[in-house]
Amino acid sequence: MTGRELMLDAFHARPVDHIPCAPFIHVNFVGAFFGSRDADPISGTIEVYEHFGLDIIHRNCTPAHNELGAGAGGWEVESAVEVSADSETATTVIHTPGGDLTQVHRLNWVSEYDAEASPLEYLIKSERDFDLIREYQPPIEEIDTTPIVRAKAELGDRGIIAPWMQGAFSHVTYYYRAVEEMILDAMTNPGFYREMMEYFLERNMRVAEQHIEAGVDVMSYGGNIASGKMVGGPFFGKYVLEYENRLIDFIQARGVPVLYHNCGCARSLFAHYKALRTKAYESLTPPPYGDTILQEAFAEFPPETILCGGVDQIEFLRTASRDEIRENVRGILDLAKPRGNFILGTTDYFDEDTPSESIRAFAAAGADYGRY
């Protein structure tokens, strides 16, 4: 069985002879591995996975996409970027016949090879702003999906590709309106909330459609903003679940499994996640960085849902001994094997200073204890 066959069988809940060991490797670790921010994320990711003897879920092939749209009639985009030693701040002003919209995003370098984006000012500050967007924003552009096509070709039968997209709620709260405002909108101005969710859901579907047409195997789906810590279970069930399921159904109806990602607090959402029609869920983050108890997750999720993750990479993999890593992996797999439909992974991506010997111990333990 090839690596690709193994991973596809795992994501489609078909029988496999062993549990795949496929942690989340992000571009930061690829950069650290090669000692360069300019390391090729396509070929470099494959080389890193193979170097450590891991099964491959290649996520570092997400196409760049201008969500706000290029300039068009009635929608003129003016951008400026300020660069410092540890950040880049992009200010975008959009001129429309009805008035201007302003967005400010900052990219912070949190380590030598890892950057995080943080919105400082959102486009939608009022209902008027949304009206301008709905009236003048151009349709979703044609996306250059070369990274997807290239990653799939270079990977061949060694694994699968799973580029990223934002979930239905996260998409709006990342690009357009602050999460605390969206929460208030849902409860105090539900019509406005529904109109925004419907409008941006349609645009997000057009992005997903182009990814799917390019040949993705699995869709990595960001659900972190709609997490237990940010919105809570009751809010998720009443105001988010419907839209997440509509986008998930749209993707999975086209034959692509969705891997729903929440790498933080999720315990309060498990009751609602059972109604989330995603094919797979990650990351099963234990305390102190999340609140998932693995035994509870195995009991709560339907058996047909593929669960992924389980091993803390923030502290445990960076500090544990080889024997401690083996025992941790063994304990997880002893719990997982009777249930099945499991992929051994980490609760998020590797930090750059994760010792190589720890990753090798993790991979070896997965191979030794993952046989059915």
pLDDT tens track for 71-130? 777 999 999 999 998 999 999 999 999 999 999 999 999 999 999 998 999 999 999 999
Q: Has residue 99 been placed in a domain?
A: no
Residue 306 lies in a domain: yes
Average pLDDT estimate for 218-224: 95
pLDDT, one tens digit per residue, over 280-338 is 999 999 999 999 999 999 999 999 999 999 999 999 999 999 999 999 999 999 999 99
Asked whether the beta carbons of 48 and 159 are under 8 A apart, the reply is: no
Q: Locate the DSSP E strands across the chain.
A: 56-58, 76-83, 87-96, 99-109, 115-121, 159-161, 164-166, 219-222, 258-261, 280-283, 306-311, 342-346
Q: Do 241 and 276 contact (CB within 8 A), yes or no? A: yes
pLDDT above 70 (res 61): yes
Query: How many domains, in total, are found in the chain?
Result: 1
Mean pLDDT, range 208-236, rounded to an integer? 91
Does residue 85 lie in a domain region?
A: no
Range of the domain at 352: 3-65+143-369
Mean pLDDT of 23-42: 98
Percent of the chain with pLDDT over 70: 100
* Residue 224: predicted pLDDT: 87
pTM for the structure as a whole: 0.96
At residue 228, the pLDDT reads: 67
What CATH number should be reported for the domain holding residue 224?
Answer: 3.20.20.210
The answer to whether residue 40 is domain-embedded is yes
